[in-house]
Amino acid sequence: MSTNADILIHAEEGVTTITFNRVEKKNSLTAAMYAQLADAFETAAQDAAVRVVVLQGDVAIFSAGNDIGDFLNQPPSTPDAPVFRFLRAIAGFPKPVVAAVCGPAVGIGTTMLLHCDLVYAGDNAAFSMPFVNLGLCPEAASSLLAPQLMGYHRAAEALLLGEPFMAEAALEVGFVNRVVPPTECNLVAQAQARKLAAKPLSALIETKRLLKKGQTTVVVERMAEEGRSFGRMLREPAAREAFTAFMEKRRPDFSRC
């Protein structure tokens, strides 16, 4: 088990479980947490004892996305920023990744799931990608992967309006594998992970490689393009108004943006 309170890492019988453990802050992610996540995935990729990684949060919250205060103090301004390191690490991870999602999954809390192989949702899960509402553009190659997975119109609705879609809607479009009671979600993900861990690692890796063949390079390129746009838009009036309004707890006014 890791000693950091915000990210817990536990390895057992070939399964490395990464738990978001900042529940008092709705599991919002800081730059330090992204660095830990990147390190964990990079280490797991090289460790032959690790066959599967599980991502999970709390029964009431998966992740509220970026910690806004930390994000504004340490904006991801370079390709080596911790958030981009994490996204490249999970996108290129060669072994199966299983996610258990209960409660809200906001922003990167949703887009990271596009890089998981199996996703199990509690019936209280609510997915949202509200980048436009913050004066920003999609990240994590979600502008590429969401339309592929959900179809263009569903993805456009999710990305342009930024409104939440619930667990059953996510199941309908293939965003998640199964919807279960929240108290069972982590258990189901662990059970599936242990099934995978009992299989030959070489076969798991090769099957995942074939499933994603031709996609990895395109995903990395889209991530880089989104990152450049994201960084530029972060400095523009719409984002400044959105974040100022958030901090002042008022509705943003985009009439001049």
Query: Quick one: the chain helix, strand, coil %, rounded to 5?
Result: 50, 15, 35
Nearest to 177 by CA among 195, 159, 158: 195
Task: Dig out the tokens for 112 from the structure.
Answer: 């990271």
pLDDT in tens, 40-59: 999 999 999 999 999 999 99
Compute CA distances 161 → 58, 86, 129, 157, 209, whole Å: 27, 26, 9, 6, 33
- C-alpha to C-alpha distance for 47 and 40, rounded to whole angstroms: 10
Paired strand residues for 101: 121
pLDDT at 74: 87
Pairing of the two strands 126-128 and 165-166: antiparallel
Question: What is the domain class of 7-182 according to CATH?
Answer: alpha beta
Question: Residue ranges of the domains in the chain?
Answer: 7-182
pLDDT attached to residue 197: 98
**What pLDDT score does 1 carry?**
45
Mean pLDDT of all residues in the chain?
96
Helix axis angle for 216-234 and 142-150, nearest 10°, is: 120
pTM of this structure: 0.95
The residue written with tokens 């609705």 in the block is 157
Indicate the burial class of 184 (C-beta count within 10 angstroms; 0-12, 13-18, 19 or more).
middle
CB 97 within 8 A of CB 115: yes
Q: For Cα atoms 242, 121, 109, give the angle at the middle one, nearest 5 degrees.
A: 30
Asked whether 92 and 109 are in contact (CB, 8 A), the reply is no
Quote the pLDDT of residue 96: 98
Decide if pLDDT at 3 tops 90: no
* Average pLDDT for 22-34: 97
User: Are 55 and 18 contacting, i.e. CB atoms less than 8 angstroms apart?
Assistant: yes
Rounded CA-CA distance 93/101 in Å is 19
Q: For residue range 64-103, list pLDDT tens digits in order.
A: 999 999 998 888 878 899 999 999 999 999 999 999 999 9
What pLDDT, in 10s, does the model give residues 192-236?
Answer: 999 999 999 999 999 999 999 989 899 999 999 999 999 999 999
Q: How confident is the model at residue 4 (pLDDT cuts 50, 70, 90)?
A: low
- Cα(73)–Cα(57) distance, rounded to whole angstroms? 25
